[in-house]
Amino acid sequence: MQTELSNNLGVEHAVFGFTPFPAVAAAISRAGGFGVLGAVRYTAPDDLKRDLDWIEAHVDGKPYGLDVVMPAKKVEGVTEADVEAMIPEGHRQFVKDTLAKYGVPELAEGEASGWRITGWMEQVARTQLDVAFDYPIKLLANALGSPPADVIDRAHEQDILVAALAGSARHARKHADAGIDIVVAQGYEAGGHTGEIASMVLTPEVVDAVDPLPVLAAGGIGSGQQVAAALALGAQGVWLGSIWLTTTEAELPSPRLIEKLFAAGSGDTVRSRALTGKPARQLRTEWTDAWDDPNGPGALPMPLQALLCADAVSRVQKYEVEPLLGTPVGQIVGRMNSERSVQQVFDDLTRGFEKAVDRVNRIAGRSAEQ
């Protein structure tokens, strides 16, 4: 599964794996792919430094990258307290009532939320970059489109490629104009924040829109056959996220959540604003249903919704309240029905890829003979 992009980066397979777990990122790179660590949950620079040190010690010299969440336009002087003050009391009460309905216990006194993600804030994201640029990362990806121009320049000065996610050809062209090196075409099927165009349509549109920039296909990909299809559509690799959640190296906080992922079919996800305020594909739960109910208050815009729900999510995860228990995940969850190591995932990907290529070659051979 090699392309010009994977060869330029020195990786065996054109499989880019996004994950919040350092052990998974390192295992992806060791297996011949390109591990990308999600940085949004790191609010303390020392924590990110600790985990990048760990990756450095366990990646066997293979390349890896970092994924941040920061808007293209700088927003300065806004604190977390300023944002908290903007949350309506009615929405706070709705959270309390929903948790009470399902008997979700409070966190212990003094226990902080483990899901209080503020990596979207300008000052937090930039401290992440200050740490990351001291490491030999080969790729910086931004989940909210093109990062600020000064960040792109800083990365290029250190020979770091910059990637940005796009949900439409129009977005992709903006990324190209901003100086991005790689565009990730993320289809409707993907887990987390995603647009409304399916991968089969989106990938070739983005390939044509930004040619000759390399494009990675994302969304609904979890088999070697799908990797082959993505490359046939013009992508120079694939960007996989959900498939790693149920690997042995992952660190999901709840055994019951893993069981729910194993049991879920491809129709058991929903694109909802319930978690962050932006449309994000996740397991459908009583929590997403409550926020999507037209009789409810409706989700707040990002980042208000994420801050509003931070303690609630931590409580649901800690006490494993099954009706409310969910996670961002793509429609590929229907194939995630057993625990595998990262290496086993790659073994399955390569076998499926070879079968798909052989099948197409046989068809092409018969067509040539005819």
pLDDT tens for each residue of 24-54: 999 999 999 999 999 988 888 999 999 999 9
- How far is the C-alpha of 307 from the C-alpha of 287, rounded, in Å? 16
Mean pLDDT of the chain: 92
- The mean pLDDT of 323-349, rounded to a whole number, is 96
Please give the structure tokens belonging to residue 244: 């790693």
- The mean pLDDT of 169-181, rounded to a whole number, is 97
Residue 43's pLDDT is 83
- The mean pLDDT of 88-111, rounded to a whole number, is 92
- How far is the C-alpha of 248 from the C-alpha of 342, rounded, in Å? 7
Asked whether the CA dihedral 272, 274, 280, 286 is positive or negative, the reply is negative
Query: Does residue 370 have a pLDDT over 90?
Result: no
Query: Does residue 117 have a pLDDT over 70?
Result: no
Query: For residues 222 and 335, is the Cβ–Cβ distance under 8 A?
Result: yes
> pLDDT confidence of 69, banded at 50, 70, 90?
confident
Query: Does residue 119 have a pLDDT over 90?
Result: no
Residue 206's pLDDT is 98
Closest CA to 182 of 142, 144, 219: 142
Residue 254's pLDDT is 85
Angle (deg, nearest 10), helices 122-132 and 45-58: 30
CA distance from start to end of the chain: 29
What is this structure's pTM? 0.92
> pLDDT confidence of 346, banded at 50, 70, 90?
very high
- The mean pLDDT of 250-269, rounded to a whole number, is 94
Residue 238's pLDDT is 98
Beta bridge partners of 173: none
Closest CA to 188 of 225, 237, 221: 221
- How far is the C-alpha of 100 from the C-alpha of 95, rounded, in Å? 9
Residue 124's pLDDT is 79
Query: Does residue 137 have a pLDDT over 90?
Result: yes
Closest CA to 316 of 103, 76, 31: 103
Query: Does residue 158 have a pLDDT over 80?
Result: yes
State the CB neighbour count (10 A cutoff) for residue 74.
12
- Whether a cis peptide bond, with omega within 30° of 0, leads into 212 is yes
- The mean pLDDT of 94-102, rounded to a whole number, is 97
- How far is the C-alpha of 30 from the C-alpha of 51, rounded, in Å? 16
Residue 118's pLDDT is 53
- The mean pLDDT of 271-287, rounded to a whole number, is 94
Q: Which of these ranges, 43-47, 79-83, 344-348, has the smallest mean pLDDT?
A: 79-83
State the CB neighbour count (10 A cutoff) for residue 103.
8
- Please tell me the number of Cα atoms within 13 Å of 204 on its side-chain side: 5
160: which residues sit within 8 A by CB, 6+ positions away? 133, 137, 138, 139, 140
> pLDDT confidence of 8, banded at 50, 70, 90?
very high
> pLDDT confidence of 325, banded at 50, 70, 90?
very high
- 16 three-state secondary structure: strand
- 160 three-state secondary structure: coil
